[in-house]
Amino acid sequence: MDFKEKIAELESELSTTKYNKATQHSVGLLKAKIAKLKREMIVEAKKGGKHTGFSVKKTGDATVTLVGFPSVGKSTLLNSITNAKSEVGAYDFTTIDVIPGTLLYKGAKIQLLDIPGLIVGAAKGFGRGKEVLSVIKASDLIIIVLDERSYPKYAMIMAELYNADIRLNGSPPNVSVERSGFGGIDLGTTVRLTKMEPETVKGIMREVGFTNATIVIRQDVTQDQLIDALEGNRLYIPGIVIVNKSDLMSTALKQKIASAVKPDLFVSAEKRANVEQLKDLIFTGLGLIRIFMKQPGKDADLSEPMIMRRGTTISDVCTKIHKQILKNLRFARVWGSSRFPGQKLGLSYKLKDGDILQLHID
């Protein structure tokens, strides 16, 4: 039996097993077995693989990918907010390659990628699914594009991404695990686990290949989250869900779609409705912030901000400008998020969007 057959067999067993207190343990082990087989299958596929992926070079401050079924208007959208000219067609699979465009917004250069429409089974390798998914996986933000025909299949897109190890808008479970030489599994918890018994944690660990290890769980994790933590290769990528072609929709239909998929925004790529709001969602979704530099005795340079990520410190900005600066920095002043204008602040101070920063260098 090959990997695919084994996985299919276990998945069908899983789908016919009712989940309750009594089956919790065996369900956990089944899930762990499937996770392990999937990992092994990918390793195996890579060994023999001649790699013919799409080649796109990441450029700019961040990379964003438009994901959706064929004909939802991804290319039209790309053309409406970037400099790109991606072919638009009234038929499916107009786009058969990765088409990059650049969105200039608030001083940031954001690379937007238009890719062939996602199809069901992509994660299993149907169509050029694997290649499309590898582009998606390399992005800093995923925009899921739906329209009036495809919104009922929203869950399928989410499942496709999930199967490709992407945890959209998720955050890594608070679990640390370290292999040890002997002694079996040492399980520590800082919270009460309500979703499985300690024996199941250990069983899952052994199943995915941890025989001797120390694990500390600091969150009431589900079995799936535990497996994610153990596998360690999951991607936690932020996502935005938009519904395109709003120009074709009645208010009633919009309400129906809103309650079904809870999108972040309705847009019309063709009529350019809500595209400015979309740009703003992209900027904030990426966690980008602008820092304006000010030389002592001069006005701040408001034309060209430094584009950084949320949580950035004064030290991060220095390092981005030049490695040497940190050594020679005497002090820094901040206008904006500081308690008072021009406050002297330390290297670990976290800057906010729109802050003005002045570096005093020897």
Ligand X SMILES: Nc1nc2c(ncn2[C@@H]2O[C@H](COP(=O)(O)OP(=O)(O)OP(=O)(O)O)[C@@H](O)[C@H]2O)c(=O)[nH]1
Which of 117, 104, 90 lies closest to 245, judged by CA? 90
30, 67, 69, 75: which one contacts Mg ion (CB under 5 A)?
Answer: 75
Q: Does 76 bind ligand X (CB under 6 A)?
A: yes
Q: Does 80 bind Mg ion (CB under 5 A)?
A: no
Q: 88 vs 253, which CB is nearer to Mg ion? A: 88
Q: Does 250 bind ligand X (CB under 6 A)?
A: no
Q: 101 vs 173, which CB is nearer to ligand X? A: 101
Taking residue 111's Cβ as centre, other Cβ atoms within 10 Å add up to 21
Q: Are 112 and 78 in contact (CB under 8 A)?
A: yes
Which one of ligand X, Mg ion, none interacts with residue 93, CB within 5 to 8 A by kind? Answer: ligand X
Rounded to whole angstroms, how far apart are CA atoms 264 and 242? 6
Kindly state the tokens that stand for 326. 């940190």
Q: Are 136 and 142 in contact (CB under 8 A)?
A: yes
Q: What is the DSSP letter of 343?
A: E
Q: How far is the CB of 92 from Mg ion (least distance, A)?
A: 9
Rounded to whole angstroms, how far apart are CA atoms 297 and 317? 20
Q: Does 92 bind ligand X (CB under 6 A)?
A: yes
Q: Does 285 bind ligand X (CB under 6 A)?
A: no
Sign of CA dihedral 189, 194, 199, 204: negative
Sign of CA dihedral 204, 26, 121, 84: negative
Task: Determine the interface stretch with ligand X among 65-73, 155-163, 308-316, 331-339 (rule: CB under 6 A).
Answer: 65-73
Q: Does 82 bind Mg ion (CB under 5 A)?
A: no
245, 290, 294, 333: which one contacts ligand X (CB under 6 A)?
Answer: 245
Q: Does 94 bind Mg ion (CB under 5 A)?
A: yes
Task: Please state, in angstroms and as integers, the Cα–Cα distance from residue 153 to each residue in 69, 119, 148, 362, following that order.
Answer: 9, 11, 10, 60
Task: Determine the interface stretch with ligand X among 51-59, 218-226, 239-247, 323-331 (rule: CB under 6 A).
Answer: 239-247
Query: Could you give phi then psi for residue 232, rounded to 5 degrees?
Result: 75, -5
Task: Determine the interface stretch with Mg ion among 43-51, 72-80, 294-302, 320-328 (rule: CB under 5 A).
Answer: 72-80
Binding site for Mg ion (CB under 5 A): 74-75, 94-95
Binding site for ligand X (CB under 6 A): 68, 70-76, 88-90, 92-95, 116-117, 244-245, 247-248, 268-270
